[in-house]
């Protein structure tokens, strides 16, 4: 689901960029570490592309494919990421449809990043299935999410627009990852009474059918 105008402003703002650089990235690096040299990463819902730069610079990816549903966000990301040249490939499309949008092969990525996007996706379980499909065995999923507890607050309901059904708590999100062969174990944490969730998961060598 596309963001409304207020969220579009918030997402591409200095405070959001600061939070992503100075809190979320170090927390995810503590949980999951850097990527091996030469890694190919996929970023879901890249927005204006600030996180894509962090994936290259801080997590150490060699190349990033990044996708967003909103063509205006992809246009902003294209401008921001131009200095990286061929290390970044941007596409417009839905994260539940990676095969068509990106021609993403099974097991084609060493890492997938979710910086606050799956809570926007109606069928987020289908997106988890796609993440499990495109990660190579042993590949890593880094996630930073907004839970149903946050979305139910007056502030979120007044200011932003999100799907109202089929949202997830932190525990439900982690359980769905595990169900689809993405092993989290104890590598996750919540913040602000369970409103925010950060963690990493590794794709099992043999994902469940
Ligand atoms: C809250 S913003 C997060 C943007 C950026 N990752 C960040 O952390 O600042 C969510 C982004 O996901 C995109 N989005 C929402 N639903 C999507 C979908 N089904 N497929 C791809 N992108 C989607 C939105 O257009 C938006 O750019």
| Domain edges within the chain | 5-203
Q: How confident is the model at residue 207 (pLDDT cuts 50, 70, 90)?
A: low
Give residue 59's pLDDT: 98
Q: How far is the CA of 198 from the centre of ligand 1 (A)?
A: 16
Q: At what angle do helices 170-179 and 124-134 cross, to 10 degrees?
A: 40
Tell me the CATH number of domain 5-203, given options 3.10.400.10, 3.40.50.150, 3.40.50.460, 3.40.50.2300: 3.40.50.150
Residues 167-203 have pLDDT tens digits of: 999 999 999 999 999 999 999 999 999 999 999 999 9
Residue nearest to atom 17 of ligand 1 (CA): 69
Separation in Å, CA 94 to CA 100, 101, 121, 168: 9, 7, 9, 19
For residue 49 and ligand 1, the question of a CB distance below 6 A is answered with no
For residue 16 and ligand 1, the question of a CB distance below 6 A is answered with yes
Q: How far is the CA of 161 from the centre of ligand 1 (A)?
A: 12
For residue 11 and ligand 1, the question of a CB distance below 6 A is answered with yes
Please give the number of the atom of ligand 1 that sits closest to the Cα of 7: 1
Q: How far is the CA of 51 from the centre of ligand 1 (A)?
A: 11
Predicted structure pTM score: 0.96
For residue 73 and ligand 1, the question of a CB distance below 6 A is answered with yes
Q: How far is the CA of 48 from the centre of ligand 1 (A)?
A: 9
DSSP letters, the chain, are ----HHHHHHHTSHHHHHHIIIIIHHHHHHHH-PPPTT-EEEEES-TTSHHHHHHHHTS--SEEEEEES-HHHHHHHHHHHGGGGGGEEEEES-GGGHHHHH-PPTT-EEEEEEES-GGG-TTHHHHHHHHHHHEEEEEEEEEEEE-HHHHTSHHHHHH-----SS---HHHHHHHHHHTTEE-TT-EEEETTTTEEEEEEEE-SS---
Residues 114-163 have pLDDT tens digits of: 999 999 999 999 999 999 999 999 999 999 999 999 999 999 899 888 88
């Amino acid at each position: 689901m596309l963001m409304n105008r207020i969220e579009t402003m918030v997402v591409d703002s200095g405070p959001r960029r600061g939070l992503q650089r100075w809190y979320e990235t170090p927390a995810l690096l503590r949980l999951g570490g850097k990527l091996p040299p030469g890694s190919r990463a996929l970023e879901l819902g890249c927005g204006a592309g600030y996180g894509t730069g962090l994936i290259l610079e801080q997590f150490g990816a060699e190349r990033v494919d990044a996708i967003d549903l909103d063509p205006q966000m992809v246009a902003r990301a294209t401008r921001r990421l131009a200095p990286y040249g061929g290390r970044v490939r941007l596409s417009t499309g839905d994260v539940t449809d990676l095969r068509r949008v990106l021609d993403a092969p099974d097991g084609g990525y060493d890492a997938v990043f979710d910086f606050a996007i799956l809570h926007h996706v109606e069928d987020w379980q289908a997106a988890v299935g796609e993440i499990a499909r495109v990660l190579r065995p042993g590949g890593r999923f880094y996630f930073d999410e907004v839970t149903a507890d946050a979305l139910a607050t007056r502030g979120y309901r007044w200011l932003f627009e999100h799907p109202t059904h089929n949202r997830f708590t932190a525990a439900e999100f982690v359980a769905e990852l595990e169900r689809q062969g993405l092993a989290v174990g104890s590598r996750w944490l919540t913040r602000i009474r369970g409103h925010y969730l950060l963690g990493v998961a590794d794709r099992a060598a043999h994902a469940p059918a």
